[in-house]
Amino acid sequence: MTRIFDGYCKLLDMLIALALAIMVVLVFGNVVLRYAFNSGITVSEEVSRWLFVWVTFLGAAVAVKERGHLGTDFLVARLPVLGKKICLVVGHLLMLYATWLLFSGSLAQAKINWDVEAPVTGASVAIFYASGIVFAVSAAVFLLSDLVRALTGRLGEEELVMVQESEDLAQLGRDDGNPHGKR
């Protein structure tokens, strides 16, 4: 299962890189065309905005899998193993609920806007809201996987605290060979 998740995240990383490259070309090209030739790429702003939203949601999905979101471990790290497990389960259930809310809202908006055309490209506005659906489904699968591993006892004690208080501490842990930045 880990290989499938890693492969999926590698695909998301490639899509993010492609979207960023397209954004750079569109925005930079548009700036050059406007200032040098008094023209521009008509779809540049709309496509760049949509790609930015997709990059954000795809990156957030990868961060859920890699446990890269920042949080506070000030209390949880000091709890006994049972307390850490309880906090992890409660936290994951709350995140799954928030993911469900995002999924249902994005799905509703995608359905509502299915026949609405974007002003410049003419593409369906549902494409914009589909990013929330992709994120919610991806995040839910990653969260459920971690939740099942926690409930079946397949998470080690060091994995029970899934957040770091600062990016610097997380980076230090990764530099020391610890993939999740845990001490």
Residues in a beta bridge with 124: 117
Ranges of each domain in the chain: 2-175
Q: What pTM does this model have?
A: 0.82
**Looking at this protein, which amino acid is placed at residue 104?**
S
Token pair listed for 171: 């980076």
Angle at which helix 2-37 crosses helix 44-66, to 10 degrees, equals 150
Q: Helices in 38-114 by DSSP H: which ranges? A: 44-66, 81-112
One pLDDT digit (tens) per residue for the chain, 183 residues: 789 999 999 999 999 999 999 999 999 999 999 888 888 888 888 999 999 999 999 999 999 998 887 777 777 778 888 888 888 899 899 999 999 999 999 999 999 999 999 988 888 999 999 999 999 999 999 999 999 988 888 877 777 776 666 655 556 555 555 555 544
The CA distance from 153 to 162, in Å, is 15
The CA distance from 3 to 160, in Å, is 21
